[in-house]
A = this chain, B = another copy of it.
Amino acid sequence: MILRGRNPFDGKPQLTLRDVAEAAGVSEMTVSRVLRNRGDVSDRTRARVYSAARSLGYVPNKIAGALASNRVNLVGVVIPSLSNMVFPDVLGGIGKVLSETPLQPVIGTSQYDPETEEKVIYEMLSWRPSGLIVAGLEHTSAAQAMMRSAGIPVVEVMDVDGDPVAAAVGISHIRAGRDMAREILARGYRKIGYLGSGSGGDHRAQKRLQGLREGLSAAGVTLTDSCFYEGASGFGTGRQMSADMLSRHPDLDFLYYNTDMNAAGGLLYCLEKGMKIPEEIGLAGFNSFEVLDGLPMRIATMDSRRTEIGQKAAELIAANALSDEIIALEPRFLEGETVRRR
């Protein structure tokens, strides 16, 4: 007889349907039906099964269930990081929609590294999820191939400037940059500095910068200065960058930041230096973070609509359509108090 080796770490042998079936005096099949609320089972049997399952402390084995049914109620979500508040917000939108379905999100992070992302996507797909949501449009070609041939709904989120593998939900960051240029110019600012992230990994910030440049040059204006940081955004980063840039170019009349977090640091710096905001100098950020309501001034920003992006993406997955729809939400300018009124 073959003795199956058990994992040496296994505590007790796993409780199976069979155990519950014996305890309740019915077949495994009946137990399975009761526990999944499938098919007709008499109330009496149902009650017996429930009480047997409960008193044994039975927890079904989803692994086995998934293998047998070829159905896995998981949705893979691959994002760069959890430290950047942008992504938890997207996850919030996804979770809200999925919580009304049998689907469950499973999160993986790529640390802004394409190779890591490829691995994470591979791991996710090897669990045969019901759908996949991936942040951004830039991936290794192997990752794109996997996404394309996964045979499940795939949605790329955050960005629509590029070539999605399948469906995409996001905003155009190029357009966000252009719109910001228009708002800045319309308010009479002309000497503009950009403060953003240096890592080529932040494609979306790069696109906003590109849009900004395009928008300015359409009006014959050139970006006066730009400055890039490595590492995390934050008040300290924003403060430092602002100080550096203003010492290089004391004549700047506008600072555009890649994110509100940095903009907040810049705002505090400028206020401390006694600069007149928004007359002397204007400031704007990106994302619209609620935690920051309560700064001395409301920062002009653009709503990146992350919660809605998460929701729409989850809806596409829940609809189980292998669509290649591209849903472009409009970035929304929020005037705040750090720019002159038009």
A: which residues have CB within 8 A of B? 6-7, 9-12, 14, 57, 59-64, 66-67, 69-72, 82-83, 85, 88-89, 91-92, 95, 104, 106-109, 122-123, 125-128, 145-146, 149, 151-152, 232-240, 261, 265, 268, 272, 290-296, 320, 322
Contacts and interface: CB of A to CB of B under 8 A. Distances in A.
A151 B14 CA distance: 9
Given A82-B88, A151-B12, A294 B238 contact: yes
Contacts of A14: 70, 128
A127 B222 CA distance: 56
Contacts of A237: 294
Contacts of A62: 123, 126-128
A149 B57 contact: yes
B92 A83 contact: yes
Given A63-B66, A88-B88, A106-B106, A294 B320 contact: no
A268 B271 CA distance: 12
Nearest to A72: B63
15 contacts: A7-B70, A57-B146, A59-B126, A62-B126, A63-B72, A82-B92, A83-B85, A104-B108, A106-B106, A106-B107, A232-B291, A234-B294, A235-B293, A237-B294, A272-B296
B320 A296 contact: no
Given A11-B151, A104-B123, A126-B60, A294 B265 contact: yes
Contacts of A261: 291
A61 B10 CA distance: 22
A32 to B, nearest CB: 14
Nearest to A122: B59
Contacts of A70: 6-7, 10, 14
Given A57-B149, A82-B82, A95 B67 contact: no
A17 to B, nearest CB: 13
A89 to B, nearest CB: 8
A152 B11 contact: yes
A61 B296 contact: no
Contacts of A233: 291
Nearest to A235: B294
A24 B82 CA distance: 41
Contacts of A71: 7
A289 to B, nearest CB: 9
Nearest to A145: B57
